[in-house]
Amino acid sequence: MNGNQLISNTGFESPCSTKGESCRFSPLETPSVLCPPQEAGFTLNKWGFTLAAIFFLATAACDRAKPEIRAESAWARRAPMMGDGAPPGVASERGNGAVYATVVNAGKTADVLIAGASEAADAVELHESYEMSGMMMMRPAPKFEIPAGGKLEMKPGGYHLMLLRLKRDLAPGEKIKVSLTFEKAGQVSVDAEVR
Amino acid sequence: MTFAFLWLFAGPLHGAEFRAGVLQPPRKAPDFTLKASNGAEFRLSRYQGKVVLLGFGYTYCPDVCPTTLADLALVRKKLGADAERVQVIYVTVDPERDTVERLRAYMNAFDKTFLGLTGTPEQLTGVRKGYGVSTRKTVMDKKSGAYLVHHSASIHFIDVAGYLRIMAPFGTSVEDMIHDVKLLLQERQR
C-alpha cells in the first residue's frame, strides 16, 4: 500500500524504514536520490531540528543586526514660544525647549542616536549640559551611544534633546511628538508629555 | 561624657542646619536696581522682610534655566501660604535678546510672581560682580550668529534682613531648598 511495501516488492534494498510514514515515492523513481536514508522518521525529525536551528540562528543574527531600541518616559519641559510677532531684530527669535527620555537598548549590539525631530519645533539637536569652573555649560553632541543591553538616561543638566525655535507654547499636560533616529534601529517615535 | 559631647555637636548646635551651601559669615547682599518684567523698577533693598531667591539665566536657555525656574516654582507651590513671603528674581545674562516682554512671557510660564530682570550691560555686569557670577558667550553658528551664554547657575538665598546666606548649586533638590527657605522664614528680622 505505501511506498515501503512497493519498494520492497521491487527487490531493491529498502531505502526507507518501515517506521517512516512520510517517505513516499514511486518505485519508478530512483530511491537513492529521493528517499531519505534509513530510519526516515527519525531522520526527518533531525531535519526538522536542523531547520529549526538554522531558523533560530538566522533570527538571532537578525537580532544582532537590528537592536531593540525603545524610548521610555519621554517628557518635555514647559516653554513659551515667544518671539511671535515681535519686531524684527535680535529679540524676535522664537524660544527653545528640551525633551528628555530614557533610551533602552535591549539588543545585543550598541546603537547610536544620531538625530531627532519634532512637530513642535523647527529643529532638534542633541545636547549635553555639564558643569565647568562653577558654570553650567552646554554643548551640542554629534551622537549619543547606547550600549548593548544598556540605556542612556537623558535628564535636566545632562544629556537632552534641544528643541530649537518652538512652533507653539509647550504647556503642561500637552503632548508633543518626537522622533529619534538611530544608526541601526532607524526611526523611533515617541510622545513626550509636557511638564 | 562622650555622649554629652556628641550631643553638643549633633544636638542643639547642629539640629537645624541648612542643607544647601551656607555662606559664612553672612554678608549684606549687594543692592541693585534693574528693570523688572512687570514693567516696574526693581530695587533689591525694598524686599527686606521677604526671602529673596536670586538666579541668573536667559530665555533662550533650553535645559538648565527652565529646570531651575520649574524647581523654584515647585518650591513656592509646596510652601503654600509661606510662598507669599518668598520672591524669586531672575537676572538675565543675555540683555541683547532678553527684552522685558520676553522675560515676562518666560517668567509667567513658570510662576506669575517671578520677576525677570534686565538692564544695561554695565548694570548687569555690576550685579554679576557683586554676586560672583561669571558668564561666557559662545557663538554656535557663525552664519546665523546664534549663541549660548554659559553662566553660573546657583540660586542665591537672601534672608529677610537682606543678608546673603545660602548658595544652592544647580541640581539642589526641591526638598532641600524648601527646607532652607523655611528655616530662613522662621528667623526674625534683624
Note whether A97 contacts B: Cβ–Cβ < 8 A.
Answer: yes
Kindly identify which residue of chain A lies nearest to residue B172, measuring between CA atoms: A157
ipTM value for the complex: 0.88
* CA distance linking residue B9 with residue B182, whole number of Å: 22
In this complex, the residue of A86, A90, A160 whose CB is nearest that of residue B63 is A160
Q: Is residue B97 within 8 angstroms of chain A, CB to CB?
A: yes
HEC secondary structure over chain B? CHHHHHHHHHCCCCCCCCCCEEEEEEEECCCCEEEECCCCEEEHHHHCCCEEEEEEECCCCCCHHHHHHHHHHHHHHHHHHHHHHEEEEEEECCCCCCCHHHHHHHHHCCCCCCEEEECCHHHHHHHHHHHCCCEEEEEEECCCCEEEEEECCCEEEECCCCEEEEEECCCCCHHHHHHHHHHHHHCCCC
pLDDT of residue A194: 98
Low-confidence ranges of chain B (pLDDT < 50): 5-15
Dihedral angle sign, alpha carbons of residues B19, B187, B29, B97: positive
What's the pLDDT score for residue B157?
A: 98
From B172's Cα to the closest Cα of chain A, the distance in A is 11
A18-27 own/partner pairs: CB under 8 Å, 24+ apart: A20/A44, A27/A3
Q: Which letter does DSSP use for residue A149 in this model?
A: T
The angle at the Cα of B13, spanning B12 to B16, to the nearest 5 degrees, equals 80
A37/B159 Cα distance (integer angstroms):
94
Partner-chain contact B61 A82, CB within 8 Å: no
Query: Chain A residues with CB inside 8 Å of B107's CB?
Result: none
What is the nearest CA distance from B100 to chain A, expressed in angstroms?
Answer: 10
Give the amino acid at A56. F
Q: Residue A105: beta bridge partners?
A: A69
Chain B within 8 Å of A70 (Cβ-Cβ)?
A: no
Cβ pair A78:B171 closer than 8 A: no
pLDDT one-digit tens code per residue, B97-130 = 999 999 999 999 999 999 999 999 999 999 999 9
pLDDT at residue A55, as a whole number: 59
CA of A134: which chain B residue's CA is closest?
B152
Chain B: closest CA distance from residue A96 (Å): 5
What are the two backbone dihedrals, phi and then psi, of residue B187, each rounded to the nearest 5 degrees? -70, 150
- A139 vs A103: CA distance, rounded Å: 20
Mutate to test the interface with A, among B58, B60, B63 (most CBs of A within 10 A): B63
DSSP 8-class letter at A170: B
Q: Does B77 touch chain A (CB under 8 A)?
A: no
Determine whether the interchain pair A80/B105 forms a contact, defined as Cβ–Cβ distance below 8 Å: yes
The pLDDT score that the predictor gives to residue B103 is 97
**In the prediction, which pLDDT does A21 show?**
40
Q: At what angle do helices B64-79 and B174-186 cross, to 10 degrees?
A: 50
CA B103 and chain centroid, separation: 15
Cβ(B75)–Cβ(B87) below 8 Å: no
Taking an 8 Å cut-off on Cβ atoms, the answer to whether B109 and A96 are in contact is no
Regions of chain A where pLDDT drops below 70 = 1-67, 84-92
C-alpha cell at B117: 530682570
Contact A17, A30 (CB under 8 A): no
Residue of B nearest to A158 (CA): B63
Instruction: Indicate the SS3 state at residue A77.
Output: coil
**Would you give the distance in Å from CA B106 to the centre of its chain?**
16
C-alpha grid cell, residue A78: 514647559
Q: How far is A148 from chain B (nearest CA, A)?
A: 28
> For position A173, what pLDDT does the model report?
96
- The per-residue pLDDT for B190 is 52
Cis ω for the linkage preceding A37 (within 30 of 0): no
- Which tens digit of pLDDT belongs to each residue from A128-162? 999 998 899 999 999 999 999 999 999 999 999 99
pLDDT at B96: 93
- Alpha-carbon distance of A176 to A88, in angstroms, equals 28
B21-28 vs B163-168, strand pairing mode: antiparallel
A86, A135, A160: residue with CB nearest B151: A135
Where b means 16+ CB within 10 Å and e means fewer, B98-112 reads: bbbebbbbbbebbbe
